[in-house]
Chain A
């Protein structure tokens, strides 16, 4: 059993090793297969990546969009979760069902009307246009509602006796008590935005506005590809997610695991 795990892990990890090796092998790909231990390693591909195209801008685009998406999703998901858990109103079940149903609708189905809508608003080739459709997700709301439901209602009641209204209960009682779920949602929202491709591809058509995945896809040449540069770009794109993943592995894995149990 143990050897299966280890051999499997080596096979699974090898593509990452090969990515790094390729990125430090000048001229890799055109006629040359890199060797596992490069004889003449160089960071040339990284230098060219930043020198020949607005790659720093690309990274900042991705970073900015991911941070804003994450913050806004935390806000919209937490407020909705509070409403669905703590504020009874007529038709709440139906409204929640509609929210959940939006999870079933793939972005691909919406791509044409979304493009037309944002074009009408004059938001094509703007960051706002890229951001708006990511502001609320049924997944985030569902995740946080589960967490809010688990906060004991006695805490709300105690706060109410102290004269706190809903806004103060939300901010001072609920939010501090659902911190792990907020962390899980942060990681998923950031990852979703950082890795998203189709919508940024459609809405951000100008080269200087491109995000990392779109710019990376564009690095491939039509006939020949400088694989050392493409792999250098891939390494740059993976690193931030890797850092977040190592830092928040618990939340990521728990988030996925929980989604399977419920």
Chain B
């Protein structure tokens, strides 16, 4: 390892001369300096990210309840997960979450970003209000919304009753549990998406928009043919982050519904948690973790490859 840590300075003649005449002692000293700067981060990342990542792959090939010794079972856990209809259901619930959540935060965030991008008084104040839920923890967000959407004494159903609507059972109703989670999540992340899109909008040259206006392009036309294409790098970023986070949705599900009622809002990570700590099936949980990782990786890579078709870097 140490012999690799040479100062390279490729292409710089002075550096290579210096290296050629540098005594061995100073070279190993340089290696020590590099190690001193790198080890504080390399050790935790190796021990607590990369190591466990590999370990998860090994565990996924065993049957193990965390107490008795693990038994090697090959790819049985994967086979079992793939043949179990419940696996399809939890991925479907996760997908339902993403499909419901993404348009809400994107369209909402875009509308706010467009509105805030105009010359508005007290812009940072309004931006601050929209951003507040972003700094609130998922658990608190889930608790607040569980209360707002309480079927009997919650404020949402109370207000709906005023106008003669009999509100749904929200998180107590299998059909409404996931929409409740989606609503809470969109409220939390709207400000995040707004800030990213706003930064993207502010990077757009206003002369371009003015030119389009002079050419007689209306508001909608300018938005669709000019602003949105120029905003595509920010949109791309929102999409990548939202999908990665969406597949890993957990905190708000845990605190709002616990995956219920009747498993109607059970998502992938909730299932990983339950398999490990409720059913003592660490092997199966690890296999599911790896399946999730592969899916997220595949989706992300597909997006990165696909971006060429629609993302324009100005």
A contact set with B: CB distance below 8 Å: 1-2, 4-6, 8-9, 12-13, 15-16, 18-19, 22, 28-33, 75-77, 79-80, 82-83, 87-91, 95, 98-99, 102, 104-106, 108-117, 132-133, 135-136, 138, 141, 165-167, 170, 191, 194-195, 197-198, 202, 212-214, 216-217, 219-220, 227, 230-231, 234, 237-238, 241-242, 244-246, 249, 252-253, 256-261
Contacts and interface: CB of A to CB of B under 8 A. Distances in A.
A110 B49 contact: yes
A190 to B, nearest CB: 10
A13 B128 CA distance: 10
Interface in B2-53: 4-9, 31, 33-34, 36-38, 40-42, 44-45, 47-53
Nearest to A231: B147
B45 A12 contact: no
Contact of B59 (A4, A112, A214, A242): A112
Contacts of A104: 244, 296-297, 300
Interface size class of B (residues with CB under 8 A): 35 or more
Contact of B37 (A31, A170, A256): A170
Contacts of A4: 111, 115
Given A87-B37, A106-B248, A234 B300 contact: no
A121 B187 CA distance: 40
The 9 closest A-B pairs by CB, nearest first: A257-B199, A195-B137, A260-B196, A113-B55, A113-B52, A80-B41, A213-B139, A83-B37, A135-B44
Contact of B52 (A117, A138, A202): A117
Contacts of B300: 104
Nearest to A62: B137
Nearest to A166: B33
B155 to A, nearest CB: 6
A206 to B, nearest CB: 15
Contacts of A220: 143, 146, 255
A87 B34 contact: yes
A114 B297 contact: no
A144 to B, nearest CB: 10
A79 B254 contact: no
A241 B4 contact: no
Contacts of A194: 137
B132 A13 contact: yes
Nearest to A114: B52
Given A30-B153, A112-B276, A117-B52, 8 more contacts: A88-B8, A89-B34, A98-B50, A132-B47, A165-B33, A198-B251, A219-B143, A227-B147
Interface of B: 4-9, 31, 33-34, 36-38, 40-42, 44-45, 47-53, 55-56, 59, 66, 111-112, 115-116, 118, 120, 124, 126-140, 142-148, 150, 152-155, 158, 187, 190-192, 195-200, 203, 233-234, 237-238, 244, 248, 250-251, 254-255, 269, 272-273, 276-277, 282, 285-286, 289-290, 292-293, 296-297, 300
B158 A76 contact: no
Contacts of B59: 112-113, 116
A191 B136 CA distance: 9
A242 B6 contact: no
Given A76-B44, A79-B40, A141-B41, A110 B5 contact: no
A116 B66 contact: yes
Given A90-B5, A117-B55, A237 B129 contact: no
Contacts of B51: 113, 117
Contact of B132 (A105, A166, A195, A245): A245
A234 B187 CA distance: 16
A106 B293 contact: yes
Contact of A259 (B7, B53, B196, B255): B196
Contacts of A257: 195-196, 198-199
Point out which of A135, A253, A260 has the most chain B C-beta atoms below 10 A from its C-beta. Answer: A260
B53 A110 contact: yes
A239 B145 CA distance: 18
A144 B224 CA distance: 36
A197 B138 contact: yes
Contact of A2 (B112, B120, B130, B192): B120
A2 B119 CA distance: 10
B34 A22 contact: no
B186 to A, nearest CB: 11
Contact of B199 (A13, A91, A258): A258
A102 B45 contact: yes
B7 A88 contact: yes
Contacts of B44: 76, 132-133, 135-136
